[in-house]
């Protein structure tokens, strides 16, 4: 699966890594719902770091369709709220 971090680029991740990403996404959603700004910032950073750590970066000139788009590291809680659906940022 191809994942884009807004403002950074794309990473190719194996489907097996989505269990870890979904756990972080669930935490992020709970923090957003409770208004925990500090927790939101920490968990968003952990989610983006996991994508970078687990994924293989694609070259800048590669423009693959992204199956998942994550917010930039400096995104605000309001920015991310606008990106959410019922499952959070990561479906499933």
Interval 25-65: pLDDT, tens:
999 999 998 989 999 999 999 999 999 999 999 998 887 88
Please report the pLDDT score of residue 2 as a whole number: 94
Instruction: Report strand pairing: 2-5 vs 9-12.
Output: antiparallel
Question: Per-residue pLDDT tens for 69-80?
Answer: 999 999 998 888
Please report the pLDDT score of residue 86 as a whole number: 61
Are residues 46 and 54 in contact, defined by beta-carbon separation less than 8 angstroms? Answer: no
């Amino acid at each position: 699966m191809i994942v884009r971090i807004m403002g950074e680029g794309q990473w190719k991740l194996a489907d097996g890594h989505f269990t870890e990403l979904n756990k972080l996404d669930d935490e992020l959603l709970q923090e957003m719902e409770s208004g925990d700004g500090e927790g939101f910032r920490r968990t968003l950073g952990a989610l983006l770091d996991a994508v970078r750590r687990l994924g293989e970066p694609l070259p800048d000139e590669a423009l693959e369709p992204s199956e998942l788009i994550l917010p930039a590291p400096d995104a605000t809680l309001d920015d991310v709220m606008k990106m959410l659906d019922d499952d959070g940022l990561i479906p499933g």
